[in-house]
Amino acid sequence: MDKKTPNIQDVARVAGVSSATVSRAISNPSMVSDATREAVFEAIAKTGYHINIMARNLRRQRTGAIVVLVPNLGNPFFSLILAGIEQVAAPAGFSVLIVDTRQPHADENQIFTYLHNTRADGLIILDGTLPQDLLERRAAVLPPVVFACEWIEGSDFSRVVIDNSAGAAIAVRHLHELGHRHIGHVMGPMANVLTKTRLHGTRAALEELGLPFVPEWFLTGDFSLQSGAEAARRWLALEKRPTGVFCASDQMACGFISELSKVGFSVPRDVSVVGFDDIEIGRHFIPALTTIHQPRRKIGAKAAAMLIDRINGEGSVAVSEEKFAVRLVMRQSAAPPL
């Protein structure tokens, strides 16, 4: 009863054909006669055979795996992106393999060694802070790469992104339409592309609307709840405070509002806040968050689809960019100034 897992030879023996025929019946049924096919499938059922994917992959010189490089698995922002990736990859026959690039054990060399060893068929990178030179130097030995959400400026990898600049501008214009003339911005970390593009959109909108750019009103965070709370403390310490604040992430917006509430400030009564991302909690926050929606699941799904096309040699080889539109979701955290 404790026999080894059956292999293709066992099936062949039971079916009375060669292992080549079994292989064909499995992966290319139309190459085989009806009778043979039936016999093979019967033998598969009888033996309880399951293909050994490693052997197939070794032979076919592919891995059937996509590696996703996540900057911080603990950050729930990425969960829906991962869900989108999985949703497309799994039915297409690809395993999804995740690597947290910010783990202590994961210095760059280890990540690349891992990638080389693993020989993934493709790579989805959600971390725009990987060193460009390293990536480009290895481009020749890396499988196809698609960036999603983040990317590396000046390097040409395909990517699936949103219009961050437009999103920021929409947020600022919304505050302006509500009547705000003094607008500040809680930013992500300066090294992040998203920070730069959203900052760019913010400043462009300010200029377009004839509003002043006041450097003291631009506070640096890191997209986290904590950093939003810290920004609130700096906002409180300001001599003259903006009446409208655009936060570059919903998490920072929540942290910001929460911290203000501790000292009796209320949103949107004392200051209007617009977030970015449209994470689920936003709708249930108090006040419900006005924010810029980005389609996280779709971004993941599109990145996976794009990558798989490339792996299968379908999509063009040229570097391409898919840019999703964003939209304003009006809720309660932004209102006309008193």
Partner DNA sequence: CTGAAAGCGCTTACAG
Tell me if residue 39 falls in helix, strand or coil: helix
Q: How far apart are CA 8 and CA 20, in angstroms?
A: 9
Q: Return the number of the residue (283 or 323) whose C-beta is nearest its own copies.
A: 283
Q: How far is the CB of 64 from DNA (least distance, A)?
A: 11
Q: How far is the CB of 140 from DNA (least distance, A)?
A: 16
Rounded alpha-carbon distances, angstroms, from residue 26 to 21, 36, 52, 90, 299: 9, 11, 12, 19, 34
Q: How far apart are CA 89 and CA 124, in angstroms?
A: 11
Q: How far is the CB of 63 from DNA (least distance, A)?
A: 12
Q: How far is the CB of 46 from its own copies (least distance, A)?
A: 15
Structure tokens at 310: 């490339």
Per DSSP, the residues of 100-168 read: ETTSTT--HHHHHHHHHHHT-SEEEE--TTS-HHHHHHHGGGS--EEEES---TT---EEEEE-HHHHH
Q: How far is the CB of 325 from DNA (least distance, A)?
A: 41
Q: Return the number of the residue (63 or 192) whose C-beta is nearest its own copies.
A: 63
Q: How far apart are CA 322 and CA 308, in angstroms?
A: 15
Binding partner of 238, given DNA, its own copies, none, CB within 5-8 angstroms per partner class? none
| Binding site residues, DNA, CB under 7 A | 4-5, 7-9, 17-21, 23-24, 26-27, 30-33, 35-36, 49, 51-52, 55-56, 58-61
| Binding site residues, its own copies, CB under 8 A | 5, 48, 50-55, 57-58, 63, 65, 72-76, 78-80, 82-83, 86-87, 90-91, 95-100, 103, 105-106, 113-114, 116-119, 141, 225, 228-229, 254-255, 257-259, 261, 280-281, 283-286, 288, 297
